Structure 1
């Protein structure tokens, strides 16, 4: 009973068992590790390689240049768009002005037709293919201004010809003199108004004119009329 005794050593952890990590935690950690490895593998195989600092700088400069070019091109496009709008507005304004001018010309032609109808007929209308309906000759010092109205009946196309004017008068000595002006080419449709001026000698006093319309110089007569000359001191 009182035999030899063995020494007893105190161990506070003797009664405790070693604990192991749970399986789910191990699987979770393993999943994390596999996920990270997969991401790294995908980056290495599929994604483009990482750029160096120098390459990144070059790309940034290229992007800045491209953005500046885009801004410049956009400004040029806006400028061209404004020019197109301005040209379009100007074209519309000109079209409106042209339309108004055409309407005014049609109205003027209609008014002229009415006015021509009121003119007295050519005394030789039955003999003339071209009627000399009216004419005015105004003598100035050294010149003779004229306006002549020609008409045709049932004109289907222009009638080509020339107009000749012979001016009869007296010189400073009282001698009768006749001057002939240069021929004027004509293309008479239903009506034609010819105006102009011819030079006269300073000492010549015109009295009357003989107007002739010919089919050509020295050709067949298409119309003739004698008209008096008005004078002025100017």
Structure 2
């Protein structure tokens, strides 16, 4: 027979223990938390303090405000660019219309010039029409010149020399040569302007001389009355 152990306090030894799975779970949690702390402390950037976090947030908000401002300016610039492009298109259309009108006027003028009577004297340059009026101390003129053999794209340069007959300030008949007028002539040209007259001179008749230069070769000539 086995001996019987006598326990005078009557206490029993407890046989309860933690389950193995719980021990493993708690051990894993502890090791995982330690690993996270180790990685943060050794490998990751240091965590920001409260003041650093506040400064970082302020910088971010400032950068965001600047971004929004620049985005607004970009939108305004885009609108101005679109308006400028629209204006440019409108100007281009107006220019095209103006060129078309100018070309039509050029054709109309050419048709009118062609319908004028020829210069009775002929010449390399014909004086097809002209009008002279005494305007105070100046002689106002409107003269239309044409060339039969105009070289393509090469205008003829020369001068207009007006020789005017009339009465001087003393009442005697005389003839004066006025200041030459430089010209550039293509196939046709309408010239308008005025040249000064001697003081007190009353013109009666004007001779239009077309020269290749001052005192040069005569290219055309016509005599007309002054109104």
Q: What range describes the TM-score normalised by the shorter chain of this pair?
A: 0.7 to 0.9
Stretch of structure 1 that moved more, 29-38 or 97-106: 29-38
Q: Secondary structure at the match of 1:151?
A: strand
Tell me whether 1:229 sits opposite 2:201 in the alignment: no
Q: TM-score, normalised by structure 2?
A: 0.87
C-alpha separation between the residues in 2 aligned to 1:194 and 1:33?
Answer: 107
Aligned residue for 1:63? 60
* Counterpart contact for 1:163–1:213, Cα < 8 Å: yes
Which residue of structure 1 aligns with residue 111 of structure 2? 114
- Higher deviation after alignment, 200-209 or 177-186: 200-209
CA distance in 2, matches of 1:8, 1:131: 156
How many angstroms apart in 1 are the aligned matches of 2:139 and 2:7? 161
Q: 1:141·1:202 contact (CA, 8 Å) conserved in 2?
A: no
Q: Report SS of the residue matched to 2:18.
A: coil
- Contact 1:161-1:214 within 8 A present in 2 as well: yes
Counting only pairs closer than 5 Å after superposition, residues 48-87 of structure 1 correspond to structure 2 as 48-87=45-84
Report the counterpart of residue 4 of structure 1 in structure 2.
none
Q: Which residue of 2 aligns with 1:124?
A: 121
Counterpart-to-counterpart distance in 2, 1:211 and 1:220: 14
Q: TM-score, normalised by structure 1?
A: 0.85
Once the two structures are superposed, the pairs formed by residues 12-27 of structure 1 within 5 Å of their partners are 14=12, 17-27=14-24
* RMSD over equivalenced CA pairs, Å: 2.2
Question: Which residue is 2:140 aligned to?
Answer: 145
Q: How many equivalent pairs are there?
A: 220
Q: For 2:210, which of 198, 203, 213 is the aligned residue?
A: 213
Equivalent position SS for 2:15: coil
The answer to whether structure 1 residue 134 and structure 2 residue 129 are counterparts is yes
Which residues in structure 2 correspond to 1:93-108 (within 5 Å)? 93-108=90-105
Structure 2: gaps of 5 or more residues: 1-5
The SS at the match of 1:47 is coil
The answer for unaligned runs of 5 or more in structure 1 is 1-6
Give the whole-Å Cα distance in 2 for the aligned partners of 1:33 and 1:53: 28
Q: Which residue of 1 aligns with 2:34?
A: 37
Contact 1:170 1:204 in 2 (8 A): yes
Distance 1:129 1:17, change over 3 A: same
- Contact 1:165 / 1:212 at 8 angstroms: preserved in 2? yes
